[in-house]
Amino acid sequence: MADTAPAPTPLERYATFRERRALAAVQPQGPLALVNTQWVDGEQTIWGVPGRWATAPEGGLLVTASREDGITVDGELVDGTVRVRGKDDAEPSSIVFDDHTTGFVIAGEGGTYALRVWDARSEAIENFGGIDAFDYNPDWVVTGTFHEIEGGTTVGFEHLRDEGTTREQVVPGEIRFTHDGVDYDIAAFKAGRALQLVFADATNGESTYSVGRFLFLAPNADGSITLDFNLAILPPCAFSYNFNCPLPPKQNRFPFPIEAGEKNVLAKDGSLLH
C-alpha cells in the first residue's frame, strides 16, 4: 500500500498562498499590468492604444481602426468599426493590441463603459519586488457566527474614486465575531460563490496599506464562519491607481491592529511601489 503524504501544515499552506499571490500579481492581466482604465463618453481616443472608441447602442464599445493599427477583437483583425462586448455580456470580447498589450471592456453605473488596458511589460511589473506580509499567526484565525438573511439585504459601499457616492452591495447574512471581549457585527458582500469582507484596522497607514484590505470567506455548515486574517489581501488599487476599490464601511473599521495578512506592495529596492 502506498504511503499517504501528510497534509500540509497551516504554515506550509500559508507559504503556498504567499507564492501564488506574488505570481498572480505579475500575470499579463494581473493587477500590476493594468495601465489604464478610461471611461468612454462619445467618440474619443484612449491613451496608450490605437483606434477611436465610442459607446455602442446595444452595450459595450465600438472601436474604429484600420488593419495597420493591428487591433484584434475576438481573434479578428479590425478593419472598420467593430463592437466590443463588455464584461457584463454573457460572452465578453477579448482585445489584443500587440504581443504584450491586451484589453477588455467593463461596465459602470447607468450604462457607461470603460476600456481597461493591460501591459505585460508594465513599469510596475518590471519594478515589482514582492508583497510584504506578516508572518503566519494562528491567533488571527478567528471563529465567528453567520446568520443568513432571507433574500439578503444591501449595504452602501463607497469606492475610492466615486467622490463620496455609494454603491449598494448585496449582503446575504450577518457576521459576528468577538475580539478582546467586544462583539463586532460586520458586513461582507457577495462576491461570486464567496463573501468579501472589506475592512480597515489600526495598522492602516502605518504598517499596512492605507485604504484597507480584503478577506474572502465562506460560511460553515454549522452556522459558524472562519475569519483567517492571515489570508487578508491587499485590494487591487494597492497595485495600480487604475482600479477603483470599495472602501470599508463604518462597521468594518476595527479600532485594534490586525497584524496578519498582507501589508504593502514593494519595489525591488524595498520601498513602496506606489
Q: For residue 166, what pLDDT is reported?
A: 79
C-alpha cell recorded at residue 85 = 462586448
Mark whether 105 and 178 lie in a shared domain. no
Element (DSSP H or E) covering residue 22: helix 10-25
Total tally of structural domains belonging to the chain: 2
- Asked if the structure places residue 272 within a domain, the reply is no
Mark whether 135 and 248 lie in a shared domain. yes
183 DSSP β-pair partners? 178
156 DSSP β-pair partners? 168
Model confidence, pTM: 0.92
Which range marks the domain in which residue 94 is found? 31-119
- Asked if the structure places residue 124 within a domain, the reply is no
Distance of CA 49 to the CA centre of its chain: 24
Mark whether 60 and 88 lie in a shared domain. yes
The residue type at 24: A
d(CA 107, CA 61) in angstroms, rounded, equals 10
Q: For residue 6, what pLDDT is reported?
A: 86
Q: For residue 71, what pLDDT is reported?
A: 98
128 DSSP β-pair partners? 267
Q: For residue 151, what pLDDT is reported?
A: 80
Q: For residue 106, what pLDDT is reported?
A: 97
Q: In this structure, are residues 53 and 43 in contact, taking their beta carbons and an 8 Å threshold? A: yes
Mark whether 134 and 98 lie in a shared domain. no
Q: For residue 201, what pLDDT is reported?
A: 98
- Asked if the structure places residue 111 within a domain, the reply is yes
Mark whether 134 and 220 lie in a shared domain. yes
Q: In sequence order, which ranges of 109-257 are alpha helices (DSSP H)? A: 123-126
Q: In this structure, are residues 130 and 273 in contact, taking their beta carbons and an 8 Å threshold? A: no
Residue written as grid cell 459595450: 60
How many other β-carbons are positioned within 10 Å of the β-carbon of residue 204? 19
Mean pLDDT by 10 residues, the chain (274 residues): 78 97 98 97 95 97 98 98 97 98 93 96 98 98 94 81 76 94 95 93 97 96 96 96 91 97 97 90
- Asked if the structure places residue 274 within a domain, the reply is no
Mark whether 82 and 146 lie in a shared domain. no
Mark whether 88 and 115 lie in a shared domain. yes
Torsion of CA 193, 198, 199, 203, to 10 degrees: 110
C-alpha cell recorded at residue 216 = 474572502
- Asked if the structure places residue 1 within a domain, the reply is no
Mark whether 141 and 257 lie in a shared domain. yes
C-alpha cell recorded at residue 59 = 452595450
Q: For residue 132, what pLDDT is reported?
A: 98
The residue type at 151: G
Q: For residue 2, what pLDDT is reported?
A: 59
Q: For residue 207, what pLDDT is reported?
A: 97
Q: For residues 50-63, b (16+ Cβ closer than 10 Å) or e, as one string?
A: bbebbbbeeebbbb
